Structures are given as C-alpha cells and as structure tokens.
C-alpha cells in the first residue's frame, strides 16, 4: 500500500454562526475556495497536479448544494482538470473527506488530493436538507430517534455526569483555547477570511468565551429540557429504561458552538511530495468508521477508537494526543471514562465548545489542530475522532515523520 502523507493544513477562523457573525456575509463557496486558494498559494502548488478535492458538507442544499467541492475548485481558479466531490457523514464529514482523499492516494489511484470541508451554518441552517431518518415514521420509531442534545443528556444521565461535571469540562475547554491563542498555536493553520475587496473579515475564532467560569456557565438554562417534553425524553427513556428520566445538563455553554468555517488538508504520496518540493508533516497511519446504537447516538467514538487501534495493531497507550470533537461535554467525558484516558492528553488545544463546530469542516480542522500540537509538543502519534449522527464514529490515526 502506498503511504499517504499530510503536507499541509489550512483552515478559516470560525465565525459565529448567526446573522451578526463576522462570516455571515461570506458564502460557503467563498469559504471553501479561500481555503483552496491559500493551500495553493502557500505551497506554490501546481494545481494541475491535484487529482481530486473531497469536501464534507452536512447540509448540501441551497448554496451548499450542487457539489460545492467542484464549484469551489473552479472558483479558486484551480486547473479545470481537478475534480471535486462533496460527501456527507454528518459531523465527521470533514474527517471522512480527508480519509477518502487519503484512500485515493493509499490505493495508488491518485497522487495528490485535498480533503476538507465547509459549512456556513449561519446561511444554511442545520437540518435544511430534511431527510428520512427523523421524519419517516418507520425510521423514527425503529431507531428511537431523538435529537442529539437529548442523546447527550442521556449519556450524562446514564454514565453519571452532573451539570457541574460538564460545566467544569467546558471551563477547561475555554481555558485551553485561550492558552492556545496566547501561545499562537493556531497561527500556522488559520488563514484570515477576506471580503471581495480583500479586506480581512475575521482572523480568529470568534465564538470563544475566555471569561467563562463555573458561575457564568451555571446560570445558563438547559437547552433540551423543553424539546424533551415533546416526547423525546420518553423515547430515550423507553430505549434506556435503566435511567430514571433524562437529566438535562447541556447548555450553549457546554455544547459545541454553531459557527461558519472551512478547512482542508493537502495529501499525497512520497514521490509527488519530492517532486513538488513539499515537506511531509505526518503519515496517515489508519482510519475507520463504525456504527453503534443510534438513540444514544454519540457514544460511537468509544467503539471506533477501539476499532482503529485494533486495525492498526496499536494500543491506546501508543496514542500521545487524542482529539475528540467536543460536540457536547458529556461525549468527551464518556469517552475518557470508557477508555480511561488522561484529560492531559485529550483535546489539549481546546475545542468546539470554545471555538465552534462548523459541521462539514470540523473533522479536517481537528485533524490539523492535533497535528499542530504534535509538532508543538514534539510528540509522535495522535488520533482524531468524532461522534456522529445516527450512532456512527469516524477516527483517523496520524504519525509524524
């Protein structure tokens, strides 16, 4: 099998995913194409050498529809020979796109690819693409469908995480993110987003709340108590009769933020790197996805991590840094509990609770972030992974070269 190397990682800063967010005026097409342009410009890339661009996007309708990957390739001025494909694995789309792009290289079918993702949540709201999963009664009933927030609260209830536990995790996420900013940890990867005149609109993640404390987070109302009463709590409890009702602990303060953003990773085999004068930063050691029980939905990381370790013949102690998307605090707490992982090795640079989770792009962002951290800390191996709608999990293991 051909080895696949990561040559570069580029991401936009994340803008608040609301009408007053700094990136709201930017179309998802421009978010994606600015990432591709930066990737080309900072590597002095002959784009004709890129075989394919794979971009994740979770609501591929409206201006995110019609294969936004190919549209972005053309918009960024890449050579017309570069194809593009948009894929959707819900919250892991950005990582899955990277894995698929890497798979092309590893199977010898492509030399140079870009994997990444884009989501403008302020312009194309979540669930804009509809879908049978929660709507079609046979699917909703048989899978005990509940919204993710209810699943996250179910995890907290079932595995014993209190409101204080999840808030404490969130405070730490904010603190680590603030430290990352202090240490300029993201400088290598973030490219400012510019408007049509070339004026910088945003050069930092704007969702952060550095001043968050237990007190300030504790004053927020639980987000999902209301919808729980519409029957979703009952459905979750029916599937998990061992819990005595659902305790609602997640709030906007300890859940991932809704934001806009895009990201990409430049992937290729050794030869193309040498030929183009690119320096490999890490190799893709392995990746995989899995499915687990869809009602509790967000415990997939536990299983996909084990699957990834087993498939690569590794042990959890071989992993120096873990990067699990902070969709909800309880997701990360449960993962650390299930695999007995030291918080000191987990999400060391902060995460989506502080910076936000632009659905289609996040997977590529966290893989890039953990790569930056391996380099900053001079460590070797990392696993990036995400919990995913309908009970899935996707993971990627990288190793510095």
Partner 1 sequence: MENFTIDIDHNGIALVTWDMPNRSMNVLNTSSIAELAAWTEDLSNNDDVKGIVITSGKEAFCAGADLEEMGGQLAGSALKAAAGDEAAKRDAFDMIFELNRVLRALETCGKPVAAAINGTALGGGLEVTLACHYRVAADHPKAQLGLPEAKVGLMPGAGGSQRVPRLIGVANSAPLILEGKALNPQKAAETGIIHKVVPAGEEVADAKRWITEDGDAEAPWDKKGFKIPGGGPYHPAGMQNFVVGNAMLHDKTFGNYPAQKNIMQAVHDGLVVPIDTALRLESKYFMKTLMTPEAMNMVRTLFLSSQELGKGARRPAGVDNTHVKKLGILGAGMMGAGIAYVSAAVGIEVVLIDMSQEGAEKGKSYTTTVMDKKIARGRATEEKKQEILDRITPSTDYALLEGADLVIEAVFEDRDIKADVTAKTEAVIPATSIFASNTSTLPITGLADASQRPDHFIGIHFFSPVDKMPLVEIITGEKTNDKAIAVALDYVRQIKKTPIVVNDSRGFYTSRCFSTYVTEGIIMLAEGVDPVLIENIGKSTGMPVPPLAMSDEVQLELSYHIMKQTKEDLGADFPETPAYPLIEKMVTELGRLGKKNGKGFYDYPEGGKKHLWPGLGALIGKQTAIPQEDIKKRLLFIQALETARCFEENVLMDVRDADVGSIFGWGFAPYTGGTLSFIDTMGAKAFVAECDALAEKYGERFAPNALLRDMAAKGDTFYGRFNPQKAAA
Task: Tell me, residue by residue from 81 to 120, as one string, x for binding to partner 1 by CB under 8 A and - for no binding.
Answer: ----------------------------------------
Burial category of 211 from C-beta neighbours within 10 Å (exposed 0-12, middle 13-18, buried 19 and up): exposed
Rounded to the nearest 10 degrees, the angle between the axes of helix 28-43 and helix 68-75 is: 50
Residue linked to tokens 């609770």? 353
DSSP character for 56? E
57 included as an active-site residue? no
Tokens representing 66 are: 């019609």
Site membership for partner 1, residue 222 (CB under 8 A): no
Q: Exactly one of 91, 248, 250, 295 is catalytic; which is it?
A: 91
- Minimal distance, residue 296 CB to partner 1, in Å: 15
DSSP character for 46? -
User: Which C-beta is closer to partner 1: that of 43 or that of 128?
Assistant: 128
- The neighbour count for residue 351, using CB atoms within 10 Å, is 30
User: Which C-beta is closer to partner 1: that of 242 or that of 378?
Assistant: 242
Bridge partners (DSSP) listed for residue 287: 396
Site membership for partner 1, residue 271 (CB under 8 A): no
357 included as an active-site residue? yes
Distance CA 323, CA 131 (A): 29
20, 44, 211, 242: residue in contact with partner 1 (rule CB under 8 A): 242
Site membership for partner 1, residue 241 (CB under 8 A): yes
Which string of DSSP letters, residue by residue, matches 125-150?
A: -TTTT--HHHHSHHHHHHTT---HHH
Pair 331, 155: CB distance under 8 Å: yes
Site membership for partner 1, residue 234 (CB under 8 A): yes
126, 214, 238, 401: residue in contact with partner 1 (rule CB under 8 A): 238
Tokens representing 214 are: 């237990």
Residues 141-180 that bind partner 1 (CB under 8 A): 141, 144-146
- Minimal distance, residue 149 CB to partner 1, in Å: 13
Q: Exactly one of 9, 207, 248, 357 is catalytic; which is it?
A: 357
Site membership for partner 1, residue 48 (CB under 8 A): no
Contact range with partner 1 by CB under 8 A, out of 90-98, 104-112, 238-246, 318-326: 238-246
Distance CA 306, CA 322 (A): 13
Distance CA 112, CA 270 (A): 10
Site membership for partner 1, residue 126 (CB under 8 A): no
Site membership for partner 1, residue 135 (CB under 8 A): yes
Residue linked to tokens 């933020």? 257
Contact range with partner 1 by CB under 8 A, out of 112-120, 169-177, 182-190, 224-232: 224-232
Site membership for partner 1, residue 138 (CB under 8 A): yes
- The neighbour count for residue 350, using CB atoms within 10 Å, is 24
Active site residues: 91, 357, 387
**Contacting positions for partner 1 (CB under 8 A):** 127-128, 130, 134-138, 140-141, 144-146, 227, 230-235, 237-238, 241-244
């Amino acid at each position: 099998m051909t080895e696949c190397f990561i040559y570069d990682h580029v991401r936009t800063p994340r803008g608040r995913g609301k009408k007053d967010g700094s990136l709201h005026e930017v179309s998802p097409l421009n978010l994606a194409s600015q990432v591709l342009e930066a990737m080309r410009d900072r590597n002095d890339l002959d784009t004709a050498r890129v075989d394919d661009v794979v971009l994740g996007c979770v609501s591929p309708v409206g201006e995110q529809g019609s294969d936004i990957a190919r549209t972005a390739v053309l918009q960024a001025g890449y050579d017309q020979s570069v194809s593009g494909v948009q894929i959707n694995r819900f919250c892991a789309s950005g990582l899955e796109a990277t894995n698929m792009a890497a798979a092309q290289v590893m199977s010898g079918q492509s030399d140079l690819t870009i994997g990444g993702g884009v989501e403008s949540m302020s312009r194309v709201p979540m669930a804009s693409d509809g879908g049978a999963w929660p709507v079609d009664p046979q699917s909703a009933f048989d899978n005990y469908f509940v919204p993710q927030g209810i699943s996250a609260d179910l995890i907290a209830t079932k595995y014993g995480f209190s409101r204080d536990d999840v808030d404490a995790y969130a405070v730490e996420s904010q603190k680590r993110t603030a430290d990352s900013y202090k240490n300029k940890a993201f400088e290598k990867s973030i490219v400012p987003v510019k408007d049509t005149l070339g004026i910088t609109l945003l050069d930092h993640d704007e969702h952060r709340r550095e001043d968050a404390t237990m007190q300030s987070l504790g004053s927020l109302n639980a987000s999902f108590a209301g919808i729980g009463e519409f029957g979703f709590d009952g459905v979750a409890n029916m599937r998990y009769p061992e819990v005595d009702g659902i305790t609602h602990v997640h709030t906007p303060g300890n859940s991932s933020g809704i934001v806009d953003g895009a990201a990409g990773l430049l992937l290729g085999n050794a030869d193309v790197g040498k030929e183009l004068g690119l320096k490999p930063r890490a190799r893709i050691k392995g990746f995989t996805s899995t499915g687990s029980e869809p009602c509790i939905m967000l415990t997939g990381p536990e299983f996909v991590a084990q699957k990834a370790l087993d498939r690569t013949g590794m042990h959890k102690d071989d992993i120096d840094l873990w990067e699990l998307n902070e969709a909800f605090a309880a997701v990360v707490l449960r993962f650390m509990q299930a695999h007995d992982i030291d918080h000191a090795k987990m999400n060391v640079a902060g995460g989506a609770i502080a910076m936000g989770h632009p659905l289609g792009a996040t997977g590529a962002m966290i893989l890039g972030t953990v790569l930056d951290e391996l380099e900053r800390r001079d460590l070797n191996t990392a696993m990036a992974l995400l919990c995913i709608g309908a009970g899935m999990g996707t993971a990627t293991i990288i190793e510095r070269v």
